[in-house]
Structure 1
Amino acid sequence: MKKSRLTSDYPIDFELIGIVSSAREYKLAWHINQLEDIHLVKSEDLKIDFADNRQIRASSMTDEGDYYKVCLIKNRLVSSNVVGNQHLVSELQQFDYLLKITNQTKENWAKTLVLDLKQLPVIDYCVQIDVERVKMKDNLLF
């Protein structure tokens, strides 16, 4: 029997920053909101339903304008009926939070933002992640 594998090529139009911080989500968001041009507010949890009745939920905060969207996503799942996997992107489990940036106007905003984030006292470590190398990037397409 021949097996076929379905592949999908969605356009990756966002940048990703990995953040290591022991701060609670609301406290981290408050510190990030002190930066220029960002105002994160609590949004509905991200829900991802899979074809085999699996579902995962992750907490998020969002700031959305006409030409940009910034999402602070907690990488540790709020709930899951998947055994073993407790992270939204398990290959990035070393990061507590992921900052997803979709921007159509400012060039190099993610690089500038990483430099600003490193100055915040509640962030232990942050780095821009090459999204093309992330295997589970489908979990970030929302």
Structure 2
Amino acid sequence: MKKRRLLVENNYDFQLMGIVAPMRAYKMVWYINQAMRIAFAKQKECTVHPFGREPIDISFYTYEAPYGNYRFIENRAVKSPKGEIHYLIPELKEFDFLLYVQGEMHKDYFERLKNGLEQLSIVHYFKIFEVDRIKAKENLIF
């Protein structure tokens, strides 16, 4: 009997930014909300099933704007099996948080977002990633 495989191509129409800031997520979100006049709201923890690994619980915040959606995601798992440290995107484990931006965002607004992060003294470093180069990008679809 012939075997058939289902090939699924996901559309990765989002931008991703990694942020290094040594603090709890709720404090970081508060600073971003104040500095950039964004209203991130805490969501229920999401269980992600990374391919080939045990399920992990991820904490995240969302903001829905007329022109796109934002997710502020903790890269480090809230709860993980056996008390081990697990990351949503293992190849980006040096980044504490991920800022996921999806939708038709004007280039000027993205620049404003970058400038706003640069102005926050609590942000040590941030980097914009090319999503196609991230191996575990499927973990961001939840």
TM-score (norm 1): 0.84
- Deviation string 1:36-84 (CA, Å, 9 cap, x unpaired) is 3521111111211368793111111111134311111010101123896
Taking the aligned partners of 1:108 and 1:84, their CA distance within structure 2 comes to 41
Structure 1: state its 5+ residue gaps.
none
User: How far 1:121 moved relative to its partner?
Assistant: 1.5
Taking the aligned partners of 2:27 and 2:105, their CA distance within structure 1 comes to 28
Contact 1:25–1:74 (8 Å) recurs in 2: yes
Is 1:113 the counterpart of 2:108? The answer is no
Q: Give the superposed CA RMSD.
A: 2.7
Taking the aligned partners of 1:83 and 1:5, their CA distance within structure 2 comes to 36
User: How far 1:108 moved relative to its partner?
Assistant: 5.1
Taking the aligned partners of 2:33 and 2:42, their CA distance within structure 1 comes to 12
Cα gap change, 1:125 to 1:7, in 2 (>3 Å): farther
SS at match of 1:22: coil
User: Which residue is equivalent to 1:130?
Assistant: 130
User: Which residue is equivalent to 1:44?
Assistant: 44
User: Which residue is equivalent to 2:65?
Assistant: 65
Is 1:33 the counterpart of 2:39? The answer is no
Pick which of 49-58 and 18-27 moved more: 49-58
Structure 2: state its 5+ residue gaps.
none
Between Structure 1 and Structure 2, the one with more helix by share is 2
Code of the residue aligned with 2:126 in structure 1: it is C
Taking the aligned partners of 1:53 and 1:92, their CA distance within structure 2 comes to 16
Contact 1:58–1:74 (8 Å) recurs in 2: yes
Is 1:96 the counterpart of 2:96? The answer is yes
Code of the residue aligned with 1:113 in structure 2: it is L
Size of the aligned set, in residue pairs, is 140
The share of aligned pairs that are identical, in percent, is: 34
